[in-house]
Amino acid sequence: MTTKVCVTIAASSPAKISSELKRALVKSDYAELRLDFLKPSQIPFCLNLVRRHLSRCVCTLRPTTEGGKFSGSEKERVSILKLISEFDPYLVDVEYNTLKKNKELEKYLKSAKTRILVSWHDFTKTPNEQTLRTMFKKMSRFSNNVKIVTTAKNISDMIRVLSLYRYNSRNVNLISFAMGDYGRMSRILCTKLGSPYTYVSLGKPIAPGQFSLKEMKHILSLENKN
């Protein structure tokens, strides 16, 4: 299986997102557009600007409560998520907690046949195996694309989050890895265990422990030589 990469783009202007996206897609399979780094009023213009590339984009609008930058109301965020879905990107990242609380949004996205990446992050720890398995089961009810990311404080945490791939009997597109220095290796190993892609940055890491596109390509080239 060829390891696929998704470059996270978190720029503060539509023009910068567009130029970074073009750069990223030359050497990567996908790009994640962190639209929460924009002002809400800039998002429609940005989506129009990059429209022709959206079939290779994961669109994310992460609220501050989930470690993102979007600080508007939840009502406003939900309406923007609906707008994003109308542009039919490769995936729309929607938090598990958002879908759980907002049945109307879930129904809307389902009727629009939006490809949802249901996500859940733990920025402080890696829960026990049973909690992770339960979370995976609950999340996979919303979508066939699931992202579970935790924070590793030691190697055992990293191994635990990767163990989720063992229980993926339903052939869900599972992306599961850990953040932080102890989780770094999981960003490579996850693709060997079944993750459809791994997240990288164009340069400076967007998340703790993230490899740059250049670093990941170098690692993969060494791997291919062996």
Answer whether 166's CB lies under 8 Å from 140's CB.
no
Which of helix, strand or coil describes residue 178? strand
For residue 121, give the nearest of 70, 37, 200, 64 by alpha carbon.
64
Predicted confidence pLDDT, tens digits, the chain (226 residues): 478 999 999 999 999 999 999 999 999 999 999 999 999 999 999 999 999 999 999 999 999 999 999 999 999 999 999 999 999 999 999 999 999 999 999 999 999 999 999 999 999 999 999 999 999 999 999 999 999 999 999 999 999 999 999 988 778 999 999 999 999 999 999 999 999 999 999 988 888 899 999 999 888 887 766 5
For residue 61, give the nearest of 41, 37, 83 by alpha carbon.
37
Q: What is the pTM of this model?
A: 0.94
> Would you name the residues annotated as active-site residues?
121, 147
CA distance readout (Å), 3 to 6, 30, 190, 199, 221: 10, 12, 10, 11, 11
Both tokens assigned to 20: 């970074």
For residue 44, give the nearest of 87, 105, 91 by alpha carbon.
87
Domains of the chain in start order, with CATH, are: 5-225 (3.20.20.70)
What's the pLDDT at 225?
Answer: 65
